[in-house]
């Protein structure tokens, strides 16, 4: 933005008005960019998950939090809960070809996750797997779930798109 000024009251008022318009436009575009990044992340995550889910339960574990304004801009977040967390980090040493307590996910320690096979009562560390009851009360056996790191990979894919997304919005 360029402003040409003549030092008089009318010119300064015009400049102030143009700066306010520019500020509002910048805030609007920032909000749109934030929303677009969040939507792209969710879409990438769902595309990553499509080959790993049997029911819609896992897709329901992904949601976007509303965009919120704070002191320095706008914020939104992707909420990953329920079944999706197990797919992200994996369970069981057998399913992940790991040793008890090992961390396969690059962000596991930073995010406070337990090492493989150590969560809860540690059944995931058994080479013979473990039994559990599903939502219908049926007894099931598992060796665990391999870590898919779908959010980790989705975040990288979205990160690569951010410069072009920003250029598309701010260079108009």
What's the pLDDT at 65?
A: 75
Per residue in 28-37, pLDDT (tens digit) is 898 889 889 9
Instruction: Report yes or no on 64 lying in a domain.
Output: yes
Instruction: Report yes or no on 58 lying in a domain.
Output: yes
Instruction: Report yes or no on 1 lying in a domain.
Output: no
Mean pLDDT of the chain: 86
Per residue in 93-131, pLDDT (tens digit) is 999 999 999 999 999 999 988 899 988 888 899 999 999
What's the pLDDT at 106?
A: 94
Instruction: Report yes or no on 3 lying in a domain.
Output: no
Cα–Cα distance for residue pair 153/106, rounded to 1 Å: 11
Instruction: Report yes or no on 4 lying in a domain.
Output: no
What's the pLDDT at 143?
A: 94
Percent of all residues in the chain with a pLDDT value above 70, rounded to a whole number: 91
Per residue in 50-94, pLDDT (tens digit) is 877 666 667 677 777 766 666 666 677 777 888 788 889 999 999
Residue 30 burial by Cβ neighbours in a 10 Å radius (0-12, 13-18, 19+): middle
What's the pLDDT at 93?
A: 94
The mean pLDDT value for 38-55 works out to: 82
- The residue ranges of DSSP E strands in 76-169, in sequence order, are 78-80, 130-133, 139-142
Split into its structural domains, the chain has a count of 1
Instruction: Report yes or no on 99 lying in a domain.
Output: yes
* Domain that residue 102 falls in: 9-170
What's the pLDDT at 67?
A: 60
Phi first, then psi: give them for residue 96, nearest 5 degrees: -110, 5
Instruction: Report yes or no on 162 lying in a domain.
Output: yes
Helices (H), 55-140: 57-60, 83-89
What's the pLDDT at 137?
A: 93
Instruction: Report yes or no on 97 lying in a domain.
Output: yes
Cα–Cα distance for residue pair 79/76, rounded to 1 Å: 10
């Amino acid at each position: 933005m360029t402003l040409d000024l003549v030092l008089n009251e009318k010119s300064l008022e015009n400049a102030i008005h143009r700066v306010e318009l520019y500020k509002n436009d910048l805030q609007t575009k920032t909000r749109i960019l934030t929303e677009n990044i969040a939507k792209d992340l969710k879409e990438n995550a769902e595309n990553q998950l499509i080959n790993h889910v049997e029911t819609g339960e896992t897709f329901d574990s992904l949601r976007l939090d509303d965009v919120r304004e704070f002191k320095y801009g706008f914020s939104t977040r992707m909420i990953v809960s329920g079944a999706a967390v197990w797919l992200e980090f994996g369970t069981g040493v057998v399913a992940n070809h790991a040793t008890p307590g090992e961390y396969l996910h690059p962000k596991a320690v930073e995010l406070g996750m337990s090492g493989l096979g150590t969560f809860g009562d540690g059944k995931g560390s058994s080479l013979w797997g473990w039994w559990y009851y599903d939502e219908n009360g049926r007894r099931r056996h598992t060796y665990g779930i391999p870590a898919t790191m779908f959010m980790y990979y989705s975040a990288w894919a979205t990160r690569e798109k951010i410069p072009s997304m920003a250029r598309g919005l701010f260079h108009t």
